Amino acid sequence: MEQTTDFLVIGSGIAGLSFALKAARLGSVTLITKKARVDTATNLAQGGIAAVLSADDSFEAHVRDTLTSGAGLCHEDVVRMVVENGPARVRELMALGIEFQHDSRNAGHLDLGREGGHSARRIAHAMDLTGKQIEEGLLRRVAENPKITVLENHVAVDLLIGSKAGVRATHPFLDRCLGAYVLNRQGNTIETWLARVTTVCTGGAGKVYLYTTNPDIATGDGIAMAWRAGARVGNLEFVQFHPTCLFHPKTKNFLISEAVRGEGGRLIDERGNSFMQKYDPLGDLATRDKVARAIDLEMKASGDDCVYLDISHQPAEFLKTRFPTIYQTCLSLGIDITREPIPVVPAAHYMCGGVLTDIMGRTSIENLYALGETACTGLHGGNRLASNSLLEAVVFADQAARQCAEEWPRLKSQHYHPVTAWRAGKAQRIDEAVLISHNWDQIRRLMWNYVGIVRKEKRLGLVKERLAAILAEVDQHYRDYLLTPDLVELRNIAQVSELIVRCALIRKESRGLHYILDYPRPDDRHWKKDTIISKR
């Protein structure tokens, strides 16, 4: 079945929703999401959105903090553009009805938080439910817009590329994106969606790892699809591990916000000893890469299963008001954060690399944009500064919408080119779930054990060999069996895992989030540059 739309948006997080609202001023928008529209990383974001919103702060300070966190790989022009556009984008969210916490002592001013790596209070938040507030607010606006259609339970399978349909791009060295093949879970049918502009904003790839703070949807779909289509990807070795994921057998993926340390939380070992001052002058407010690595070293040295985050010295009422979700979740598990420390471990949290884009969100494939965690924009470099992710999403959604508006006369004049409908051929229904689950589990354990916080070249070589065999098997499943959402996701995490390992093997130094024992120091002379790879 062939469908057409002006804009095809793949993903329903803050980036996709923000772009959809602005693209709807130009034409029709179809937004597809592989589960429910609220199943996004945005919905789980606790901390907030970083922007210069106080007279005590400055663009220069925010730029400097971002560059320092990024370990020498941030693109300064991109950093300045994002930082300088930040306040306007936050005010835009507020105008859409999204409520951030206001300062009860200073009428008309926001209650700004501070997190690791920031030199000032600049985090606009809605207590520890910021992402949920933003997601719900944007979804309300999208639902009110008659030009936007949201299709839940629609899984993007592959991008449609012009060269495979006999269509040339405007530039002789580019290919053109025509839309995507989409698996409709209802009826398990493959639909062909043709679009003038396709935007991938499917989030990150945390489910590549055994332990992650990410939702189950985070299987690197946008990165894998763009790679298969021939787009350039970059900096995939820089996977951010959040230092403080709740360690408890009855829960998974629950993040203890960086804002807890920003409000005075201290990391301690099982014996109650504070340890962060040994690793960084900023102590508990060091950047995420340093804190995660410090925790990893402490756990390996002591043999303990976790460390602890203690904020019990703060007034109980303050903690209940500032962190209501964290307080209630921990309490339901028998942990009273007003009286005792919280057991925490690092977990895979954020992909700093992704599909390479320019400053307008355009990829190396014509009419294909990448936004949010799916993209590698040049903002984060080797390590993302806390709460710059939501900021990047709204700023680049605006950039992409502006670019589409500028190009709209050309885009609108382009015809929808017919493409070959999906052919199942002699594919059979997959009747043994173990074919999926075994490879899925094997990939995630390999990545956790061999491509985690601390790496070694020999281990990377071993996992590359094992992933090659798994990729071959998954590719055979893709040809032999009718597609299911699980098979689509398995194919994507296998591909993204291989790309992470490939990038990690290329970089012969330790920088930011990539720490490799064979090359323990940064090498500015040879490696102060992005890792960029392409099928071409």
- Predicted confidence at residue 251, as pLDDT, reads 86
Question: What structural domains does the chain harbor?
Answer: 2-237+352-413 (3.50.50.60), 243-347 (3.90.700.10), 434-533 (1.20.58.100)
User: What would the DSSP string read from start to end of 233-279?
Assistant: EE-TT-EEEEEEEE--TT--S-B--HHHHHTT-EEE-TTS-B-GGGT
> Token digits for 424?
């199942």
Say if residue 425 is exposed, middle or buried (CB neighbours under 10 Å; 0-12, 13-18, 19+): exposed
Kindly tell me the sign of the dihedral angle through the C-alpha atoms of 357, 363, 367, 368: negative
> pLDDT tens across 477-503, in order?
888 888 999 999 999 999 999 999 999
Element (H, E) at 400: helix 388-413
Q: Which helix (H) or strand (E) holds 480?
A: helix 457-480
- Going by their DSSP bridges, the two strands 368-370 and 189-200 should be labelled as parallel
Catalytic residue among 122, 176, 196, 288: 288
Closest CA to 71 of 237, 205, 258: 237
Asked whether the beta carbons of 310 and 268 are under 8 A apart, the reply is yes
Residue of 166, 192, 212, 295 whose CA lies nearest to 44? 212
Mean pLDDT for each 10-residue chunk of the chain (536 residues)?
Answer: 94 96 98 83 78 96 97 98 98 94 84 91 88 92 97 96 80 85 91 97 95 91 97 97 92 88 95 96 91 92 94 97 94 97 95 98 97 98 94 98 97 90 80 84 94 96 97 91 92 98 98 96 96 90
Whether 288 sits among the annotated catalytic residues: the reply is yes
Q: Is the pTM of this model over 0.85?
A: yes
**Phi-psi bin for 235: left (phi > 0), alpha (psi -120 to 50), beta?**
left
| CA dist., res. 299 & res. 296, Å (int) | 5
Render pLDDT for 281-307 as a digit per residue (tens, 0 to 9): 999 999 888 999 999 999 989 999 899
Neighbours of 442 (CB within 10 A): 15
Can you give the pLDDT at residue 494?
Answer: 97
CA dihedral 200, 206, 212, 217 (to 10 degrees): 50
Q: Which two tokens mark 113?
A: 């938080």
Q: What is the pLDDT of residue 174?
A: 74
Distance CA 256, CA 244 (A): 6
Give CA–CA dist 86/18, Å, rounded: 14
User: Concatenated DSSP letters for 492-505?
Assistant: HHHHHHHHHHHHHH
Q: What are phi and psi of 529, to 5 degrees?
A: -160, 165
Q: Round to whole Å and give the CA distance between 24 and 192.
A: 21
